Structure 1
Amino acid sequence: MKKNIFKRYIGKSILLLLCITVIIILLRSPLLAVGHISVSGNETLNKDEICSIAGIKDPVNIFAISTDNLQNRLENDLRIEKATVRRNFPNTALSIEIRERHPVATLQCSYGYVDIAQNDIIIHAYKNLHTVKIPLLTGTVLPDVYIGDIVTDETITKTVHYLSGLDNDTLAQIAELNIADPQNIIAYTSGGVKIKLGDLSLLEQEIKETTVFLHDLNGMNRPVDYVDFSYGAPVLKFKP
C-alpha cells in the first residue's frame, strides 16, 4: 500500500515537473514571439539602433524578457539618458520610451575634440573638428579625457549648464563661447554678435535674457555690435 502511494506521488511529481518544463519552454519559444515593439521619445537614434542596444528583435516574446534588464542595457549607452520599458496588455506590445542625451558644446582636448552633454559627460570624441552644429568652447583645452568621463572644470560646467538651459532655437543661434577669462565669458552668435555674459553668476537670469535677446534680434532695424548681461540690466550697443 505504502509502495503504491509512493509510486503515485513520484508519478505526479514527474508529471508536474514535465508540465512546468513545457510551460517554460513554450514561454521562451520563438513561436510565441508575437509582441511588437513600439519606441517613442527617440530623436537621433532610430528603432533598429535602439533594439540593437537592448539586444532584442521585432517581433519579441514579451514573456521571455526582463524589462529591468532591457532598461539597464539602454541606459548603459551614453547616448540614452533615461529609458522606460513596459509590457502592454492586452495588445502584447513592448513599449520603450527613451530620453536621449544631447551634446550642447564642443571643446578641444589634448588629442582632438570632444562633445559634452547637459550633465557634463563626454559622449563623443574625435581627432579633427567636423562641421560644428553645437557651440564651440574656445580659450581652454582639456587634458586627456575619454568618452564617459565627467568634466569637473568649474568654468566649463557653468558654461555647459548655461547652454543646457537654452531652448533648441536659441542654442542653434550660438556658434562659439570664449571662456579664456572665467570672469568675462563671451558668446558669439552665428551672425557675429557678441553676448557678454560676465562670470555667469546669475545663470538663470542670463539664460532668460539670452533667449529674449536672440528671439528679438532678427527684428531689430539696426545691426547690433554686442549686448552686455554682466550689469544689473542688459546694455545694448549698436554698430555705427
Structure 2
Amino acid sequence: MSQVLWQADNGIGVITIDSPPVNALNQEVLSQLSDIVGNISDDIQVVIITGAGEKAFVAGADIKEFPQLKQEAGETLCKNGQSVFQKIADLKQPVIAAVNGFALGGGLELALACDFRVASRNAQLGLPEVKLGVIPGYGGTQRLARLIGPGKAKQLIFSGEFVSAEEAYRIGLVEQLAEGSALEEAKKWAQTIQKRSPLAVQATKQAIDKGLELDLQEGLKIEARLFGEICLTEDKNEGVAAFFERREPQFKGK
C-alpha cells in the first residue's frame, strides 16, 4: 500500500505523506518518496509537499527503527535520509512545504529541504532528537542553522523544544502563515509562481542555492552567467515585449 501519494493538476504536483497515525518517516516511506521525486516530469512547474490530515505534516522518523541501531547502521540510516531530502532540494522546480500540525524531527528536516514553508496556525515545529539521546540526522543541524542562524538553531536543537507556527514565522523558520489550510495557501503561491517564466524561476533557484555555497564574488559570477543564459530565451523576449505592450506575458518555458 502506498504511503506517499502523488497528484498532478495543471502543472502543480502535490506529494502527500500518508502514513497513519502521524505520517512517520519509516524506510518504506522514504523509499516511496525518493521514487516519486525521481520521476517528476518537466511539465510540472511547482511541487508541494504536505502530510495527510490535520494532525501532522510529518511527526518525525519511525522511532521503532532506533533500538537496534549501532554506529555503522546509524550512519547509513542518516545518509539514506539525507540523500532523499537532497533529491528534493535539488529539484529544478520550486518546492513548497505545506505544514499542517506537527513537523518534528525528520518532518521538520523534510520541510527544511523545501524552498520555502507555509504553515497552518495549528502547526508545531521542532527538532526534539536530543530528548531521545541522538541528534538530527537528516540535515537538520545544517539546514536549520543556515536558515535561521546558528545561535537560534542551537537553542532549538539543544533544548528539543517545539515552537508554534507564529513563533516559527517570527524567527524565519516558516515564510508564510495560512489563515486556513496550509495546502490551499501553498497552492495559491504555486499558482502565482506559475505565472512567471519557469526558466527564470529555475535559474533564480539555482543562483541562490549555488551562491550560498560560495563567497559573494563567486556567487555574483553565477548570477551574471545565468542572467546571460536567460537573455537567449523566448521567455525573456516575451516578458520584455509584454511589459512594453502593457499586457500579461504568456511564458512557454523556452
Structure with larger RCO (C-alpha < 8 A, sep 6+): 2
Q: Which has the larger radius of gyration?
A: 1
Higher helix share: 2
TM, length-normalised to structure 2 = 0.23
TM-score by length of 1: 0.24
